[in-house]
Structure 1
Amino acid sequence: MTEVTPTPQRPNPPLPLEEAQRRLMALAPELPIEDRATAECLGLYLAAPLSALRTQPAADVSAMDGYALRIADLPGPWQVIGESAAGRPFAGTVGPGEAARISTGALVPAGADMVLIQEDAAREGQALTLTGTPPVPPARHIRPAGMDFRNGDTLMAPGTKIGAAQIALALTAGHARLPVRRPVELAVIDGGDELAAPGAELAAHQLPASNSAMLAALAAQHPVRITRIGPVPDRLEALMAAFEAARGADLIVTSGGASVGDHDLVRPALAELGADLAFWRVAIKPGKPLLVARRGSQVILGLPGNPAAAFVTGFLFLLPLIRAALGAEAPMPRPIPAVLGEDMPAGGSRMEFLRAVWDGGTVTLDGLQDSGALSSLARANALVVRPAHAPAASAGQSVPVYLL
């Protein structure tokens, strides 16, 4: 009987970027919701709709410094009978021929329906006269009750990122605490026999470990608690131990070891630990050998070892995954149009992300695009997106750009 040698199975073709990102977003862990002091929610995402608990302004207030009076009494003169200051309203009523001194943010007194700014008035003692032009319309300098929002209005949707303005809005709307998902627990594993601790004396075959610090710094723009592990040598047991040390993390990101070389051990280590491979390889340049796996609710993201490839895939996959875990309504980055400052040759068979400098209008490609080059990465503040098989483009054409 003739023995038949099985034909080796070829790996599935690399996934298109959008499909890989869609699959990754579907794996994002659902972090628990907690109530936090509003002032401590910077960078987190709202986990429930936010409605106003009060009306703002609660009553008519002045938008300017001046005098509160009655429109019917124009063009004056008036007798000043008191003052309304922010936090100290005038207790009386403004009657015919009367005015009250008023400051910005102060309640408009009863009876008054206009604010005459101080630049358009002259005062001697308690006598007030018109010297300029009354406001048009007459109520121009009054902020009416509810101008900003009213009690019960929905102010923010779930998934809204909480920045400085959102903190101020929530507090003004009466919310001392907000429901948010807790910060992400992220473990960053650096692997490779060639890596040495930063600052160590190096042999010719070594280089300082920098990817884990770079990825941690990239992730730190979001609310994350980061644990760095490594450098881990290229031994299966060592890498498995690193994964076990990171078992409590929500997300693990590795750099290097996700390809198919003899020393690329991320896939074998995850298989030994019982993790499920979600997908491997994405049709982008740089960054093709990208791996995503899941162990329980934990998501493992294996990025390439070349630093520019690790950065680009971190930007396109790690950051959206963090935002999705935090509950962001729109976790994916969005490109903007920019004008090419020079001609660009035709693209290859994969979607490309080219390091470039954007000056606010024009974008210029860096001359060094090798995936191992850090100097061009440090110079760049943008990535030009070039679709697979894109034709050559001329200076002056618009191209999509991600700002870094």
Structure 2
Amino acid sequence: MISVDEARAKILKDIHPVGTEVVALSSAFGRVMTEDARSRRTQPPADMSAMDGFAVRAADLDTIPTTLKIIGEVPAGGAYDGAVKAGEAVRIFTGAPLPPDTDTIVIQEDTDFNDHSVTIKEGAARGTYVRPAGLDFREGDIGLKAPRILSPRDIGLLAAMNRPWVTVRRKPRIALLSTGDELVRPGEPIGPNQIISSNSLLVAALVEAAGGEAIDLGIAKDNASSLREKVQDAKSADMLITLGGASVGDHDLIQPVLGKEGLSVDFWRIAMRPGKPLMFGKFAGIPMLGMPGNPVSSMICSFLFLIPAIDALRGIEPRHPPRQKAWLSHELKENDQREDYMRATVLGEKDGLPVVKLFAKQDSSMLSPLSAADCLIVRPPFAKALGKNDMVDMIPLTQPYPVV
């Protein structure tokens, strides 16, 4: 068996970024931009008013109060092109360009006005409430540098820079193949000895959340011909994930069958719990992860290995589940030679750190504790027994991979 860190290093060593495509800005959220984005315009394009009020010459405000003649009005999207002379003002609204010769905005709350004149009751320094041209950015400026996962804020900036299209990594295509006579899809008739296939949907959701595109290859029966048939569609993907059948039992066919189809295996056992029978290799020239059949094992293996692999395919630094310290609310026995990932819930807080309690049953087939869990408690190999109020490492499950 190899360690979790060794396994991750071996997997990432063989992962290379996928190609690029040009997409509309409306479809770019969460995608990895691959080229620096330069602005195609200056923002704002001219000196603009930041408030509703009056555009004036600061020189006319030396004496307060003062009364100025109103010679025009300019709304947002409009313009006043005439000259503004001493003793004159223009009614202006937020977002409108300043008329020539004006340099200051007096907000309407500081005035009394009618249709013909305005009395300025409070003075204002030159440039007050004026957004100068290029305040945000200028044409040709690099607004965003690549590579970058595009957030909603980035989408707004690109739009303001007048960039309707953006070059991004295409979504990595991750093929998912479940195996086993005992599996049926949700909603299908269930035989007396069958179970619902939940793994593929769980892992597919993680793939989509990580920025990939999940391709469901269906369920292969426990025979060589079914497995060979189903796996053919994986050859157009960027990575193949098999779910179940990766161990060494009589009905575990991944290694013997796909080995004859060109599968080369790098490793297939990891010193971790759950997830020990994880296989990694190459099939048809693409990376392949053979995950255990139990859903909790698949989820944890996806956290540790699949999501960082998708990051590498997207051309960004692989993320790893963030860890933090927590207080244990009960005793915990010593660990064996495998790194342990245990489902737990957060009871509260002490001294700024969470207080956690492990679920009594940690069977890797149980999805209800997985759904209810707030975190995973991580224990290194051969960890000593712990008592109540001892400190442990935890991985939060609420937002393990924020996109924005």
TM-score, with length taken from structure 2: 0.85
Q: Which runs of 5+ in 1 are unaligned?
A: 1-12
SS in 2 for 1:86: coil
1:402 aligns with 2:396: yes
SS in 2 for 1:166: helix
Contact 1:232 1:242 in 2 (8 A): yes
Q: 1:59 to 1:300 in 2, by over 3 A?
A: same
Q: Which moved more, 1:254-263 or 1:307-316?
A: 254-263
Equivalent residue letter for 1:70: R
1:217 aligns with 2:205: yes
SS in 1 for 2:148: coil
How much is the aligned-residue C-alpha RMSD, in angstroms?
Answer: 2.9
Q: Which moved more, 1:381-390 or 1:239-248?
A: 381-390
Contact 2:246 2:292 in 1 (8 A): yes
Tell me which of 70, 77, 91 is aligned to 2:67: 77
Q: 1:185 to 1:71 in 2, by over 3 A?
A: same
Q: d(CA) in 2 for partners of 1:96 and 1:338?
A: 68
SS in 2 for 1:58: coil
Q: d(CA) in 2 for partners of 1:164 and 1:36?
A: 15
- The residue that corresponds to 1:155 in the other structure is 143
Equivalent residue letter for 2:356: T
- The residue that corresponds to 1:190 in the other structure is 178
Q: CA deviation at 1:277?
A: 1.9
Q: Deviations over 1:1-44 (max 9, x none)?
A: xxxxxxxxxxxx32333x33233233224322222222222222
Q: Deviations over 1:120-174 (max 9, x none)?
A: 322222322234x556x75352222222222332222222112322222222223
- The residue that corresponds to 2:105 in the other structure is 115
Q: 1:78 to 1:279 in 2, by over 3 A?
A: farther
Q: d(CA) in 2 for partners of 1:157 and 1:386?
A: 39
Equivalent residue letter for 2:60: D
Contact 1:60 1:145 in 2 (8 A): yes
Percentage of pairs with the same residue: 34
Equivalent positions of 1:290-369 (< 5 A) are 290-327=278-315, 329-335=316-322, 337=324, 339-340=326-327, 342-343=329-330, 345=332, 348=335, 349-357=337-345, 362=354, 364-367=356-359, 368-369=361-362
Equivalent positions of 1:4-403 (< 5 A) are 13-17=1-5, 19-74=6-61, 75=64, 76-131=66-121, 134=123, 139-327=127-315, 329-335=316-322, 337=324, 339-340=326-327, 342-343=329-330, 345=332, 348=335, 349-357=337-345, 362=354, 364-367=356-359, 368-390=361-383, 392=386, 395=389, 399-403=393-397
Q: d(CA) in 1 for partners of 2:187 and 2:75?
A: 61
Q: Deviations over 1:171-228 (max 9, x none)?
A: 2223222111222222211112221232344445321111112212222225544332
Contact 2:379 2:392 in 1 (8 A): no
> Aligned pairs, how many?
388
Q: 1:382 to 1:152 in 2, by over 3 A?
A: farther
Q: d(CA) in 2 for partners of 1:302 and 1:152?
A: 48
Q: 1:303 to 1:87 in 2, by over 3 A?
A: same
